[in-house]
Chain A
Amino acid sequence: MKRSILTAIGLAVVVPLALASCSNGGGTASSTESATASGPVTLSLAGWSLKTTPEFQKLADAFHAANPNITVDVKEYDATNYDTQMTADLAAGSAPDIYVQKNLKNFITYQSGNQLLDVSDVAAKVGNEVSGLADYKVDGKTYAIPYRQDSWYLYYNKDLFSAANVKTPDGSWTWDDYATAAENLTSGLKAAGNPALGTYQHTWQSTVQGLALAQTPKADLLSGNFSYLKPYYERALKLQKDGAQVNYGTVTTNNLNYGAQFGTQKSAMMIMGSWYVATLIAQQANGDANTFNWGIAPAPQYDSSTAGTGKTPVTFGDPTGLGINPAINKSKVAAAKEFLAFVASEDGAKGLADIGITPAHVSDAATAAYFNFKGMPTDNLSKFTFSTHNTKPENPVSKHTAGLQNILADLHSSVMSGSASIDDAIKTAEGRAKNEVLNQ
């Protein structure tokens, strides 16, 4: 028993020390590099899957070319467990100087835990052409700078459309147009002897909920009122029942890959994020995907008020940004802020567009660079889709977002698998939101 008292005393000393001293960890390479503002500086940047995600190294190299006395050292993290590893590192004081805000859901956790430096001055410098900047603002101050802004589009296979004799999207589709097209495609392809289906919906909750939240007027995730989801789920379930898209249960149990489904022409349409463009092009080049004509169109709209090439279609997507670790050596803050400004600048945007990433900085030069990418569809509708959109965030910034999204994830799996009716699932979710999340 004496031993446990000793342990308790020891702990009472160790734990608060450990918990309170999250700063000044400094075990990384940066601690030996405290140079003057004009001397050589090395910054460490967190990135993931470096082998297959070239954007971090691209930004680091481009920045170094423009600022030869600042080197950016990219540290590798795991793509799917990035936030778990980063959380552990920040808690232990061994996180890099600059780290990526992978999605808005975790941004607020880092921000409310004081793990992000105030970068409002960089935000002011960067200006209005950067979309997603407002999403990183909390209490009037900005805590991260976006370098990339993904949006969700409608991908369509031109060859399959003509095989089924269905008119391709013209940029003015509402959801009803989309559903009709999916059904017509499915029957048309069947008649032509092609086993492909009209459309494909991936398993993520965002495929249904992201657009529902962004497009429905007055929809508010944080209110705990989820009735805006109903029409979107009804539509999805109908398409599934009519066989126009693969059953959710089949997709999850067979671990279907959305890239494989669209890329090997098993589906004529797919609503997916803008990152898929680069992947599809790469796969067509190396043979993992078939060679066929495809394009991108705006996602189907809630109603005709935002549909058409004369209007601005509404879609959703979270920005990806960079934030500065407050434990950074004071003498390097200026250099770090330079890097943040760079990634949101036109030069940074052009570098990203060159590798098929959708930059946050919207400009004609960036658009031109993007469409110069070999294999990119160059029709006018695709260019319109890329350059004109009102992208709303998937995750509104609030401490309740993570909890609410977990509840909605459960709703998604129970509705799409048919385990619960839409009304029951929404009622359950609203009850849980009220009792488990919103009252905290």
Chain B
Amino acid sequence: MAATTPPARLRLSSPTGQRGRLRGWRKALLYVVLIVAAAGVLLPFYWMVMSSLKTNNEVFTIPIKWVPDVFVWQNYVDIWTKADMGTWLKNTMLLSVAVTALQVLTGSFAAYGFSKVRFPGRDVLFLTYVGTIAVPWQSYMIPQFILMAKVHLSNTLWSIIALQAFGAFGVFLMKQFYESVPEELSEAARIDGLSEYGIYRRIILPLSVPALASLSLLTFTNTWNDYLGPLIYLRSPHLWTIQLGLRSFINQYNAEYALIMTGSALSVLPIALIFVLGQKYFVEGIATSGLKG
């Protein structure tokens, strides 16, 4: 038992590879490189935010306008009043949370079955799962839509939840992660008399917090930004998500680009917030060492 308590200074969240602070100039160089890289990476986003403060005809010009002539702060008001951003936000949030919860729960549960339990046909079944990831969605979109329409699910939020919550991606991700958890841990628990479900709940689940957190974030982001699915399944304006709602600014011959940029910029914020706040779960998650006790 003592072997499973990690010594105080060897917490797993210690930097892997580099111990202690970097030496002076190397650290400064690293920061410089990172800041320049971050600026480059964020440049497109900077343009987006600046464009959200322009008038429509100023957004796309030659040469590129990096700063608006006049700051149209009104856009950030208009997006809530002129457009239905509140409804879109609510729908998008609802869908993202529901899909993420279902995907993470059922996916990790199934992944445990695939990874730790041996039964005939397991590998073939798993390959089938992974195989469906290899089929582009627009290929089977129409048969799927016909199926959903026949059960009267289309044009409801349930359609998107049903479509996305049972994907193969989550199963695949978690299975890979479980394979990196040493078998000895489960063995020890089995000897102690725990059932498989008990092992899953008490030992494996807590260990897999980083992976679960990553899966949650990625599923959340994918559902948040999903465009084709809602386009086909969510027709009524009161069901629209943010991506669909922004499309309503594009009519047949014209587009209100400034507002589209405003909506896009706002749409990024919730996820960025979740990412920043959830850092410690993705990366500095609870994990135990001392397996080699």
Contacts and interface: CB of A to CB of B under 8 A. Distances in A.
A51 B78 CA distance: 15
Contacts of A92: 145-146, 148-150, 154
B149 A254 contact: no
9 contacts: A14-B147, A78-B247, A79-B250, A84-B232, A92-B149, A257-B255, A288-B55, A288-B57, A289-B57
Given A48-B252, A93-B149, 4 more contacts: A25-B149, A49-B251, A85-B235, A288-B56
B235 A91 contact: no
A81 interface: yes
A286 B252 CA distance: 19
Interface string A64-106: 0000000000011111110011011001111000000000000
Contacts of A93: 149
Nearest to B125: A3
Contacts of B55: 288
A256 B63 CA distance: 11
Given A53-B251, A257-B255, A76 B235 contact: yes
Interface residues of B, number: 35
A84 B146 CA distance: 14
In the A-B complex, the 6 residue pairs with the smallest Cβ-Cβ separation, listed nearest first, are A92-B149, A49-B251, A260-B57, A52-B251, A255-B60, A79-B252
Contacts of A246: 62
A27 B149 contact: yes
Interface size class of A (residues with CB under 8 A): 35 or more
A434 to B, nearest CB: 27
A264 B69 CA distance: 15
B253 A85 contact: no
Nearest to A4: B128
A276 B149 contact: no
B254 interface: yes
Contacts of B64: 254
A246 B63 CA distance: 12
Nearest to B56: A288
Interface string B21-44: 000000000000000000000000
A35 interface: no
A94 B254 contact: no
Given A18-B147, A94-B154, A85 B231 contact: yes
Nearest to A250: B62
Contacts of B255: 257
Nearest to A257: B60
A49 B149 contact: no
A53 B248 contact: no
B77 interface: no
Contacts of A91: 142, 145-146
Contact of B254 (A1, A27, A88, A259): A259
Contacts of A18: 143, 146-147, 150
A78 B231 contact: yes
A263 interface: yes
A81 B57 contact: no
Contacts of A289: 57
Interface in A125-175: none
B152 interface: yes
B180 interface: no
Contact of A48 (B57, B143, B244, B251): B251
B237 interface: yes
A256 B60 contact: yes
B81 interface: no
A92 B142 CA distance: 9
Contacts of B146: 18-19, 91-92
A288 B141 CA distance: 40
B139 interface: no
Contacts of A49: 248, 250-252
Chain B CB within 10 A, most for which of A52, A76, A279 = A52
